[in-house]
Structures are given as structure tokens and as C-alpha cells.
Structure 1
Amino acid sequence: MVAFFALLPAQAAAKAVFAHMIVGNLPEFTLSDWESDIRLAQAAKIDAFALNIAAQDLSTTRSLDLAFQVADALHFSLFFSFDYLAQGPWPADRVVSLIQKYAAHKSYFRHEARPLVSTFEGAAYAADWRAIKAATDAFFFVPDWTSVSAAEAVNLAGGVANGLFSWDAWPRGDANMTTGADRVVLEALRPREGVYMMPVSPWFFTNLPGFGKNWLWRGDELWDVRWQQVLDIQPDFVQILTWNDYGESHYIGPVREKELGLFTTANAPVNYVRSMTHDGWRKFLPFYIEAYKTGKIPGAVQESVVATYRTSPALACPGGGTTGNHGEFGQTEVPPEELVDDNVYYSALLNSDWGVTVTVSIGGKEQTGRFSRGPPAGAETPGVYMGGVPFGGNTGDVVVTVWRDGMRIAAAEGGKGISAKCENNVQNWNAVAV
């Protein structure tokens, strides 16, 4: 067959940041919707969407045609992440067909002049990928096979993978996320000099009885802590989990009513995404991505602040049967309230914390905050400063304000307020980020 991949302009093999996009949530997307999301991603300095596609989704072809049309026009990039769990494994011939059809687009992301291809799981079908590679010419293969050990994954099908993507992006208990799992993958990849695609996620909560899913993982301060870990690890790639997985509450893209059909399909007791914006988690991405790619903290930043909080105290309403952690992953299940704190968290991107104070208003009742974490270089340096204050029994709208020498320099507000009442009398363990 014609080696058409080599005829296309290659993208740089430099570090890159992707956002995982669930195409199955987008059957009603129009060209203007795709344009809007791509422009938001570009503004956040994201390099590409990893398009999660399921084998039996009848809307996939239409969605892909629209997505690549817009991405070509806007000079944005896309690549495939074949989902082997949502609707069963992918037949190898269909994988070949999709790669042959869409990798010819100028917007298809390339690494070392080869189209990048990934998966969500599918370790049991690793052998298929040797034939797929042979039928489509060379592509750069970085699957997520987190269901097996990294040491096993790198050797599947004679080492068919060029690297590994990990889905291990959330803490396993009530402690903050560490880089232990990342370093295990890096060590397994070292003998083969494989690339590592590191996962970063802001939150995880799901309550979809129709899909058999109902658990929470710790998310307090996870987003900024995890990005600090990216700056430490300096992986080859970063993949944000996710742009639009509303069912698992780790979306950073906008919420549109047309994308929320799964809450009806999966018999959710409450729509825990409606009115729960996560737009704030995109605010610092240009800063983090520049620091990751250059290996240096920018010398001057546009000072701003982001607030993150849940909208009800943990014990305000029945927990909805949600567990903290999930036994199927070998984890000890605990009451969900043990994994969260009733706090308003704030992250301030500052040139320096010199002379800076923080106030947090909940329903007009004000508290003074402090920074408990700062940039690796220490106080009075550019970077992200983090802290939090307790709800303190207060309810109402949340406003976080950063002051320097008595002058207001940034504020985070406009999110759904805190209330002791819950929709359908079920606790919403999702968070707001503004």
C-alpha cells in the first residue's frame, strides 16, 4: 500500500498536552460546537484532543467527519483513543480502516512523523496491534493498558507499544496523589526507551446505576498538586482526564445540556453536572503548559485566582449509596465523607505572594485565608499558591478575593453557591471550579 503518512507534514516531537474527549457524548454536536470547544482548548494551550471512540457507537462517523473538518480549518490536532471497554473490543479491520481514512488529515497529530494512536484499555487484544501496524504503515502506538502491570504492558505482543499511557490519575485513599505510580511506569519503560503519557485529572465522582458505577475518589487540591508533579516528572506527553466525561465528573470543558443525556440513560438519581461548571480548571493551563514544555517557570504571569468547592456539606444529605474508593480496584471502601473536606479551596497564580492576603466570602460571611502550599522555588517567587478555608456552617454564594497591600488584584466568583439542601435529597459529590 502507499505510505501516505510520510508524505504529510510532521508535527514536532516536542512535549505535548492532550485532553481526552468522549466522542460518544457528542452525537448532537454541530460544526459550531466543535469550533467552540476547539477554540477553548487552543486558548488553554492544549495541543490536541484524544478522541475516545467506542466500537458500537453509530454516531462516530458523523462526529469524526465534523471534528476533522473543523480541526483542519483551525490548525488544531486530533488523534484516536480506541475504547475497548465501553462497548466491547474493536475489530482489527475497523481500526485499520479508521486510521487509513483519518490519519491523512493535516490535523491528525504526529509524533516523530508518525500518527499517534492510543487506547482506553484492551490489553487482551495487544496481539491485534502487530497486524494493525503492518496494515497501516508505521504509527506511534501509546496505549492505556493500566489493567495490567506496566512491566507486563511493555512486553505485550513482543513489545508492540512504543510507550504507555496511564489511567492512574487519582489518589487511592484519603491522602493526596503521589508520583509513585508514574515512576513505576517510567521504570518499566526505561529498557525500551518508551515514551510516557502522564495522566492529570481534577476530580472523580460517578453515580450512574445503569452503568453499575457509584464511587468517589479524593479530589481536594488534586488539580494543582498534579500539575506540580508534571513539572517534576517532565513526561514526554500529558493527557488531561478529561475534556468532557461528565459521567465521572472530571471534565474541564464547558457543560452543554445536549451532552448530558447519559444521566437519563444510566438512571442517575440526580444530574450532578448541570450548573456545576469546571471552567476554572482551564484558567492556569497556559501557565502550567508553558512551564512543563520549557522546564522553567515563566518570569511574569497574569495574576488570577481559581476557587474549587463542593456545593453541599458532606453530611447535609444522604450519600446516594456512593462509596469512597472502589473494591473492584482492590481498594478499601470507606464512607465518601472520609475522602473530602468541607472547604473552599483557592489557587492563586501570582508573581509573588509579598503583601498578598486572601478573603473567602460564603453568603456574605467573610473569612481570611492563608497559603498552605507555594511554588517549588518558595515564597515571593512566581507560581501557584494554594490554600483553603472551611465552610464553617455558612451557605450561599462563594467569592474568593486576592488582595495586595489592600488593593484587589483578582477574584473568583459566579459559581453555584453552597447549600445545605440537595437536589432529590441526594448528595452531589461533584465540585465547582470558577
Structure 2
Amino acid sequence: MRLLAGVLAWALAFAPVVVQAKSVFAHFMVGNTKSFVLNDWVQEIAYAKAARIDAFALNIAYDDYVTQLQLPLAFSAAEAVGFKLFFSFDYAGNGPWPKSEVISMISYYAASSAYFQYNGKPFVSTFEGPERSEDWTDIKASTGCFFIPDWSSLGAKDAWALGTADGLFSWEGWPNGPNNVSTYGDASYFMYLDGAPYMAPISPWFYTNMPGYNKNWLWRGDDMWFDRWQQLIVGELQPEFVQIISWNDYGERQDLRYPFGPEYGKAPYNYVKNMPHDGWRQFLPFVIELWKTGTATVETEGITAWFRPNPATACSDGGTTGNTATQLQLEFQPQEIVQDKVFYSALLGSDATVTVFIGGRSIPGDWSNKPYGNVGVFHGSVNTGGAGGNVIVRITRGGSTVMETSGKGAISAGCANGLTNFNAYVDAGTGGSSGKKTPKAIKDLVPIAGTGVNEFVKLCEFTCKYAYCPEAACTATKFGDAIELPDPTGVIAYPAEGKSAAFGGLCRFACNLGYCPEDLCSLVEKPTYEGDVSPFVQPACTSGTATGDLQGLCSYACNWGFCPIHACTCLSTGPLHLPTPEQEGDIKTAVTTDGSPDYGLCLFACSRGYCPKPCFVPPKLPVLSPDPGNDGDSIGYTLLSVLSDYTLVRMWASASDEVEDALAEQTCSVGKRATYRRHASRHGVTTRDLEKRASDPCLHSTVAALLGSPKLVSMLVGLYRGNPIPGVALGVSQLPGYATSVMTNTFINGLSTASN
């Protein structure tokens, strides 16, 4: 997921950046490989090699047993075929990594022939973790690694100022609001890194609906996969590394592979089923070669098309928002962000005609972007116009079909569980061989069209036509041969009074060519805006309100940019007011007293010291101490506790044999996982909580087996009856984690039997 970016660069132009080598990586979620065997890794690596990807960035969360199981398989598979891997330590998923374990992991795996090296140093990245930046002084000294973290929550300036990184990776891969992807984030990193290596992000899509992880939003995808590659290939600012986000994070549908593994995140419906994304890999060999070398050959022609299976307003949005208040973004309704279109890209050796068929209805297509010399990737889209049915995109020349997509995907007003699916269906097809090479090296092309954001749109649209499209202020959208300039007027212009100094270069260029908008430019030098807020940042909410019990909460939170549209009404927008820091303490959960949804308002406010009604911070659950009279063969503590509709089973590694036997008898995933954790702990692997929904049949059978232990149940009797938890109802049926009759009866019967 993308994190809140800092202030963007204001600089107008940069000298071209020359890099020694270029590499393309794909972010790979190891946590999504629970069921992998060696052949699964072999297959994924084969797909990546075919796409010309140089390495997987292995996202690994701290204390995740899947990591311990899968890393040996991953490196074995990669070593066998000459593929590369490197670690991206996830400091957000399960909390920060201990310094000693990071050193141990790098030291052990860096010796593998499959570990990616940069200038002879093991290459290491992170997902967040700037609060542990000081650890990396010792980690680098011990391992000799090259360190290029993602600390996007701080922004480029503050992340680089920490002084421990060798370069930076930006997670700013998606546009904010109803806009297309831009290069402003890249420009900021280039300015502050001042020549140090930069790893740029690229992603094809983003949609997630996993309430279990408090995630339910989308960012605009649409043309993004094509647009972003164009920016990287032809842009003046050339990063040394590009990381695709992601290979397999299918919960956020930013993936390039068909989903594998179980459903998770308490998703209200399966929005990934029968929704392939593999077609987005089809042109990677061509565009990666073009980015690396400036030229490439069209070996085989192909067509890739993508679309959403439901119109944006076909059914309920299920609470999904465009943007997310969790990152202090101004939220929109989804239909304000996404476009009801069929998008398509074709890799061609010469121009051709495109036609889209939806349910048999023919819609003439067009190319919004054609490559220079008509050799390369063409791109376009058509409005669906309310049409439904199977979608086919066909390429023809001279009336004859060259190729078309499979037509297996369809658009429908019918929705699974009555919820609009904002995921993308990606289809593809191939044609014959071409063997045509791009007619001109990319370095010889210049911008011939572009745009900007906020007040920069007009000036950027004018100046980019004439090859002046500074990436810190504008985003180029088309490239080709330079267009002849209008006769210069000799006018010298400046930013208009109160405008940002970032208008300076644009005004000088445009006014000298006869276009001089008075609201932005002045022929007399005037005082400019010198504040701390970049003129390229999208506005945030600065005040808001609500009705009923949430009024006070919304008034407080919206002032700091946290203004969820399903609870609050934003009254004004402007530069973000940075929120007060979270107070020291351990407030991880805050809810409404009646259980009604608050969309994160209570946690946001309570963690900052403002916790009015109807908010409630649940008390910490007590911990049962180990039994000192059992010579080390104690249960330690085994606690069935209640948090929302989850049950947590927490166990010491020294749990008694009877409890271990009860777990070992369980063939379901909960029993297996708990047993694995216990055995792993005996070999130095830190254990963590075992978590599963209370209504899950697998957990039901595991808990039933655990309740067969008289010692365990006697402890639970004392916990729930003799020593009630403050703030939690005594009646088991009132505990939310045991709301189902099956779980309640199992628990009560077990307690009754044991207490007798």
C-alpha cells in the first residue's frame, strides 16, 4: 500500500542524470506463499525471467513462520536458474525487525549466488521503518550491504536527512484523486538525493476491500500502466532502478499474476476470483529493453486490454472510497475516480485499426498515443456507453483481422454479493511476428504534449508542446520530433504576485512565445509565495462536521485531514494541517461503545489524547503467569481472549504435553500453525499470536480440543469467572468473540465439565 508522501520538489529543471546500470525488480509478498512448494517458486521465477525482470524484492514481515518455511525454497529455485532475489524488510506488517535478526538474515543469504548484488554489495530495501533508521549504521557495518529503503511516509527530504540510506525507494506509485499518474514524486527524490541512486515505483492498478486490515479504497488505475512506462522510458530524469508494485499482492490487486493462495482480510466477497492480471506482463520484455537501452525490437505483435467487470455505479460501493483518509487524503466517491472504459495497448510493427466489441456491439476505437514511427506500443480507450457482455478488442489492417483478445471477460450490471467490483479484468492476444526495430532512439525524442496539476495545467499544456516540459512542474504525455517554435517576442516574464517561484521558468518560456496568462505570469517582478507547502500537492480536508454522536470527532479529525466521507462531511480544503503526533502508549484499538462503524475516527482521535463519547478504548487483557510448581512443564499461559469477532490463542513454547498433543491432532491450518510455531520456538524462532476468526470451523475444532485439557480449562474458569476482566461482560454469550451458538456451547460445556 502507498503511504503519505512529504512535500514535493519545487525545482523547475534538472540536469540529465546519467546512471551506470539499470535494473527492474518486482515486489514479491512472501507472506502470500503459505502453500508453495519448490515447483511453485520455479514457475514464478520462470514467468519473471520471461518478462525480463531482474530480481524479486522479497517482502518479508518480522516473525512470520511463512518466511522461515519459504526462503530456503525461493533461494534454491533461484540458484538453479540464475535468477536474483533480495530482501525488502517489512517494518509495518508485524512491527519492526530487531537489528540482530536483520544482520543474521542478510549475512546468511547474501552468500547465495541468487542474492542480488550492487557494486559487490548485497542489495537491501524495506517497506517503511524510518523510526529504526539508526539500526542501519550497525547493520551496514556488519553486512556491507547497499541500503535503499522505502521511507515514503517521511517524503524524500526527511528520509534522506536521516543519513543512513545509500539511496531511496519511493512507494508513491499511484495518483491522488481524479488525476493521472505524474512525475512530481520522482522530481522530489531526484532533487534531494542529488545524484544518489533512486528506485522509482510503477504499478498497474490498486483496489482493496479487506475490512480485516482496515483497508477499503481504490486509486485511479485506468491508463496508468501505459502512462507510467512512458514517463520512465522517455523522461529526462532516469532512475537507476524501477520496482514494480507488485508481483503478487493480490489483496490490493496491484499484481501481475493470477491470484494464488487463500482468501484473507475478511473481504465481503471474492473480488480476485476469475480476474486475471497476467496480460499486463505481455509487453514487459519490450518496454524494459526500451527503458534500459533506448531502443527495442517488436518481435511478436500483441494486444492487451483491461476493464472493470461492473460499471462504477452498477451496485453498492460497499464503503469503498477513492483515496483514503488513513493517509490523510481527501476522499472521493469511487465513480469520481474511475472511468467506465475499456483500455487497450498494442505492440505493433506498423499502424493498425482497433475496434472494441461489448456483447456483440461494435465500438470504433482510436489511439490516444502512437509511438514514434508507428513501431512500438500504441494505446487508447473507448467509453463503454452502458454496454454489457463479453469484451473483445480486435486489431485489423486492410480489413483483415491481425489479432484479438480472448473475449472471456465480460462487463455486467450484476454484482457479486450486490457489491461493485473495482478490480480489473486483463485480457490479451497475440499476432504474427514483426521483427521491426524502433526507428529512433528514445534519447532523440522530445516532449510534444503534456499537462500539470492545480494551477499549472494551462502553462504546462502550452510549454510541453514545444519540448519544454520540466518534470518538477509538468508531466509529458507524448514524445516525438521537436515542433517548430513560434517567433519569440522578447518578453521577459515572472510569476504573478503571490504565486510560487515554480512558475518562473514556465512564465519566461511561454510569455516569450506569445502565451502569457495574467493570472499566473507578470511582466513586472512581484513578490512570490514563500510558504512551506508545495503548489503541486493535492488539497487535503481542513475542516468538517457530521450529525449525531460523530459530530465532535469529525470536527476534530477533519481539521487534520482525516475526514472519512462515510462518516463526515468535509467543509473546506487546502494545504494539509499536519496532525499532532500520536501520544506515547499502546492504544491499538478504539471503537464506539455500541459497536457502530466509526471508520477509524476513534482510533485517530484517542491515540492523540482526544477520546470523547462514543469512543471506547478496550482494556488490556490480563496475562496468566506460568505455573511455578510444574518444573518447567507448565502451560505457561494459554489464553482464549476476545477482540471483536476474533479469537486469539496465545501459548508459551513450554506448553504442556497434553496441550501440544491436542494441537497436533488438528489437521486444519490453525492446529498446524500452532504446532509449527511451538516446534519453531524450540529452534530459536520467535513465536507470535495465533489469530483466526472465531466463527471459523477450523478454530472451533482446535478450541474444542484445547478445552479437553483440565489444567487449561481450570485456568480459564479462574479467568472468566473468578477473575473477571475489567470492562468485559461476565456472560460468555455476551462476549463478541463467542457470539455464535456453536462457539458459545463448546466453551460453556468445556468449562462446565472441567469445573466439575
Alpha-carbon separation, structure 1, partners of 2:201 and 2:365:
30
Amino acid at match of 1:276: M
Contact 1:301 1:350 in 2 (8 A): no
Alpha-carbon separation, structure 2, partners of 1:153 and 1:237:
18
| Further displaced range: 220-229 or 387-396 | 387-396
| Further displaced range: 324-333 or 30-39 | 324-333
Alpha-carbon separation, structure 1, partners of 2:403 and 2:53:
24
2:220 alignment counterpart: 218
2:330 alignment counterpart: 332
TM-score, normalising length from structure 1?
Answer: 0.92
Q: Deviations over 1:298-339 (max 9, x none)?
A: 244422110010001111110010011112323210101111
The 5 Å alignment of 1:42-121 reads 42-121=49-128
CA distance change for structure 1 residues 122 and 276 in 2, over 3 Å: closer, same or farther?
Answer: same
Number of residue pairs aligned between Structure 1 and Structure 2 = 407
1:9 alignment counterpart: none
The 5 Å alignment of 1:21-420 reads 21-136=28-143, 138-156=144-162, 159-190=163-194, 193-231=195-233, 232=235, 233-256=237-260, 259-262=261-264, 266-296=265-295, 298-353=296-351, 356-375=352-371, 377=372, 380-420=373-413
Residue aligned with 1:340, SS: coil
Amino acid at match of 1:343: K
| Further displaced range: 277-286 or 247-256 | 247-256
Consecutive unaligned residues in structure 2, runs of 5 or more: 1-18, 428-756
Contact 2:258 2:275 in 1 (8 A): no
How far does residue 255 in structure 1 lie from its aligned partner after superposition? 2.1
How far does residue 406 in structure 1 lie from its aligned partner after superposition? 1.6
Alpha-carbon separation, structure 2, partners of 1:426 and 1:24:
27
Alpha-carbon separation, structure 2, partners of 1:51 and 1:255:
17
Alpha-carbon separation, structure 1, partners of 2:216 and 2:227:
25
Q: Deviations over 1:274-301 (max 9, x none)?
A: 11100111011001100011023x2444
Contact 1:279 1:433 in 2 (8 A): yes
Amino acid at match of 1:361: F
Alpha-carbon separation, structure 1, partners of 2:29 and 2:54:
17
Amino acid at match of 2:360: G
Alpha-carbon separation, structure 1, partners of 2:28 and 2:358:
34
CA distance change for structure 1 residues 358 and 213 in 2, over 3 Å: closer, same or farther?
Answer: same
Alpha-carbon separation, structure 2, partners of 1:317 and 1:56:
40
Contact 1:277 1:415 in 2 (8 A): no
Task: Report sequence identity in percent.
Answer: 50
Alpha-carbon separation, structure 1, partners of 2:82 and 2:22:
18
| The one of 391, 412, 427 aligned to 2:420 | 427
Contact 2:31 2:64 in 1 (8 A): yes
Residue aligned with 2:228, SS: helix
Contact 1:234 1:292 in 2 (8 A): no
Contact 1:415 1:433 in 2 (8 A): no
Alpha-carbon separation, structure 1, partners of 2:324 and 2:51:
32
Amino acid at match of 1:197: M
Structure ID, larger Rg? 2
Alpha-carbon separation, structure 2, partners of 1:253 and 1:234:
27
Amino acid at match of 2:89: F
How far does residue 47 in structure 1 lie from its aligned partner after superposition? 0.6
- Structure 1 stretches of 4+ with a deviation exceeding 6 A read none
Amino acid at match of 2:353: T
Amino acid at match of 2:422: W
Contact 1:348 1:385 in 2 (8 A): yes
Alpha-carbon separation, structure 1, partners of 2:56 and 2:342:
30
Structure with higher RCO (Cα < 8 A, 6+ apart): 1
Amino acid at match of 2:394: T
Q: Deviations over 1:33-84 (max 9, x none)?
A: 1111100001101011000000021111111000000000011000000000
Contact 2:102 2:139 in 1 (8 A): yes
Residue aligned with 1:397, SS: strand
TM-score, normalising length from structure 2?
Answer: 0.53
Residue aligned with 2:46, SS: helix
Q: Deviations over 1:208-240 (max 9, x none)?
A: 001000111000110010001111242100000
